[in-house]
């Protein structure tokens, strides 16, 4: 069952290795790799958190606000990038068995897409986030971005 402390593992400072497709909807597209740092802090006694991702090699930052809805027992994840300055449509979901899966709807390059975020591999010193898009309502998915987190000691 999901709860307001599901994201407690993410609090603190991290080094992050990114692997991102050059075209988010093309399963044959190449990959780019880059590094960043992340700092996450708790809000609302654990039922919310905010992190900032600093990607100096690419000249942008990202921000995620996560909120736990006590009524539905689901999290909503809200992403923004310094490149756009806008809040993207949220994904929502929950944790089960140490794995978090979150879905939402968005557009990419003018196409409507279904979005999936997965948090897995969670330990005291590591975590993994992966994003995938579906252009066919969720029948098929293209994994297009992953981030491997390593805790800064």
Chain segment 67-105, per-residue pLDDT in tens: 999 999 999 999 999 999 999 999 999 999 999 999 999
Is residue 3 assigned to a domain? Answer: no
**Residue numbers of the domain that contains 83:** 8-151
Summarize the confidence of residues 6-19 as an average pLDDT: 97
Q: What is the pLDDT of residues 112-153, one digit of tens each?
A: 999 999 999 999 999 999 999 999 999 999 999 999 999 998
125 within a domain of the structure (yes/no): yes
Residue 72 is assigned to a structural domain of this protein = yes
CA pair distance 104, 113, nearest whole angstrom? 9
- Predicted TM-score of the model (pTM): 0.94
Q: What is the pLDDT of residue 1?
A: 78
Contacts of 20 (CB under 8 A, 6+ apart): 31, 32, 33, 34, 144, 145, 146
pLDDT at 53 over 90: yes
* Local structure of residue 87 (DSSP, 8 states): B
Asked if 78 and 68 touch (Cβ cutoff 8 Å), the reply is: no
State yes or no: pLDDT of 47 exceeds 90.
Answer: yes
Distance CA 122, CA 120 (A): 5
pLDDT at 153: 84
Buried b / exposed e along 14-45 (16+ C-beta atoms within 10 A): bebebeebeebeeeeeeeeeeebebebebeee
Q: For the chain, how many structural domains are there in total?
A: 1
Residues in Cβ contact with 28 at an 8 Å cutoff, skipping those fewer than 6 apart:
none
| The token pair that represents 54 in the structure block | 């600093």
Residue 2 maps to a domain: no
Tokens, residue 89: 């449509």
Mean pLDDT for all residues in the chain: 96
Q: What is the CATH number of the domain that holds 112?
A: 2.40.128.20
Q: Is residue 1 part of a domain?
A: no
| Residue 91 within any structural domain of the chain | yes
* The pLDDT of residue 129: 98
């Amino acid at each position: 069952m999901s709860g307001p402390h599901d994201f407690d593992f993410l609090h603190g400072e991290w080094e992050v290795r990114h692997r991102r497709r050059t075209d988010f909807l093309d399963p044959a597209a190449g990959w780019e790799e880059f590094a960043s740092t992340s700092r996450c802090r708790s809000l609302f006694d654990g039922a919310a958190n905010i992190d900032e991702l600093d990607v100096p090699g690419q000249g942008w930052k990202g921000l995620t606000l996560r909120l736990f809805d006590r009524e539905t027992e689901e999290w909503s994840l809200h992403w923004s990038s310094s490149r756009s300055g806008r809040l993207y449509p949220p994904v929502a979901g929950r944790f089960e068995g140490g794995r978090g899966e979150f879905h939402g709807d968005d557009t990419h390059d003018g196409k409507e897409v279904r979005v999936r975020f997965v948090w897995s591999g969670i330990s005291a010193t590591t975590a993994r986030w992966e994003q995938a898009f579906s252009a066919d309502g969720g029948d098929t998915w293209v994994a297009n971005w992953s981030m491997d987190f390593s805790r800064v000691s």
